[in-house]
Amino acid sequence: MTTVAPAGIRFHPGSLVVPAGAVHTTPLGYDRDGIPIGAPLPLAASTELVQRLSGCGEVVVAFEGKLGDTLLALSGVRAVLDWLRLRSVRVAVRVMGSYAGLIARTGLLTRPQATAPSGWQAVLGDRAGVEAQGSTAAVSLVLDPAAPPCWSTDGRAHPDLPARYYLAMERRLGIRLPATAPFAPTLATGPNSLVEELRSVGWLGDLNIAAITATSWPERKDYTAQRYVALAEHIAEAQQTQARLLLIGGNPGDGLRITAEAPRRHVQVLRLDGMLADDLADLFPHCHLIVGNDTGLTHLAAMARGRECSGPPVIGLYARHSHSKWRTGLPHHHAVATDLSDRMHQGDLCPVRDAIAPDTDVHMDAFPPTALAQVGLELLDGVKP
């Protein structure tokens, strides 16, 4: 259930099913659970889109924008590839751009063909990525986070962006696709020399917490290293152990920079600035708890899973934007949100897109470390779902 944290902020578990009547939604238009996989929908498909995709021999996945937007949009790519497989349309899939390595971890890609693909080319991606491919493709699909609404079907809402993208594409393609919630693909992880080095020098210990300080909007979304340290201290003291806190920062401009701070009573702090996203994907499953603002690395942490889809709980902090839309929809990806974030969730609103000025100037100091520590302790103890 949704529960109120000690300071009045609200905890929303990743496994929570949101009833259709509780939020502003757009009806999907059919009872999805009652339609067999591969069967036609009771809605007209986009004839032009279906015809062009049916003649494709190559799909190019092209993202050039923000990491978080890219990760949340991959379910749209998944929907198109699921449709092509159901229709027995054989295509080669390749990825362009700086996220190629991460996207390859999803298992969505096929092996390169020995010969050049025959047929048209389709391009899927964000606007910058699609435009970078030029105008030679038979069809270009822009996955814009502002476009798909919050769908409702079978009595439940599907507010997270991966669900929105997948179901929007299903409607346009006209047949019941195979995926069910959660719709976000996960990122496979594996051995990593940098991760093993951290382990060998003791930084992946009995209680390891990763905290994400990197953000493209620091004046609004930076929880600050000081608050994260206080959070870790509360958790370590409650568990009567020494915590190792990994502060994950952005790229300082001069590559990877690793800095150990002087030990505190309950916490040892290691700053990791400029660590590649591919390395972080391999690091996150080795942590016990991950906390971050609403940013790409937090989404990455939720999608990076170890063997048998194992990994730690991830807590996203949402002060202004909808806590449900800007999440992966994965059951271990939780949210702690303010009242403003709850209202954005309920009305399917965006304070930037819809130019909604908050009643008060809400910043990340809305989340006291003591309150977040209580949420983290309950997740670590298996109390919260």
Question: Per-residue pLDDT tens for 103-120?
Answer: 999 988 865 554 556 788
Whether residues 8 and 43 fall in one domain: no
Q: Residue 23 falls within a domain, yes or no?
A: no
Q: Residue 22 falls within a domain, yes or no?
A: no
Which of these three, 150, 185, 220, is where a domain ends? 185
Total structural domains within the chain? 2
More reliable by pLDDT, 107 or 160: 160
Q: Residue 305 falls within a domain, yes or no?
A: yes
The contacts of residue 53 (CB under 8 Å, 6+ apart) are 80, 83, 84, 89, 122, 139, 173
| Mean pLDDT (whole number) for 336-351 | 94
Q: Residue 24 falls within a domain, yes or no?
A: no
Q: Residue 20 falls within a domain, yes or no?
A: no
Over its C-alpha atoms, the chain yields an Rg (Å, rounded) of 21
List, for residues 47-101, the tens digit of each pLDDT value: 999 999 999 999 999 999 999 999 999 999 999 999 999 999 999 998 998 899 9
Which of these three, 151, 185, 219, is where a domain ends? 185
Number of Cβ within a 10 Å radius of residue 149: 16
- What's the CA angle centered on 60, arms 172 and 327, to 5 degrees? 60
Whether residues 269 and 249 fall in one domain: yes
Whether residues 300 and 280 fall in one domain: yes
Whether residues 209 and 340 fall in one domain: yes
Domain of residue 87, residue span: 31-185
Whether residues 153 and 195 fall in one domain: no
| Mean pLDDT (whole number) for 321-349 | 96
Whether residues 217 and 175 fall in one domain: no
Whether residues 171 and 241 fall in one domain: no
Whether residues 323 and 348 fall in one domain: yes
Which of these three, 157, 185, 213, is where a domain ends? 185
Whether residues 174 and 43 fall in one domain: yes
Q: Residue 26 falls within a domain, yes or no?
A: no
| Mean pLDDT (whole number) for 5-24 | 88
**What confidence category does residue 219 fall into, taking pLDDT thresholds of 50, 70 and 90?**
low
> H or E element: which one contains 255?
none
Q: What is the pTM of this model?
A: 0.94
Q: Residue 233 falls within a domain, yes or no?
A: yes
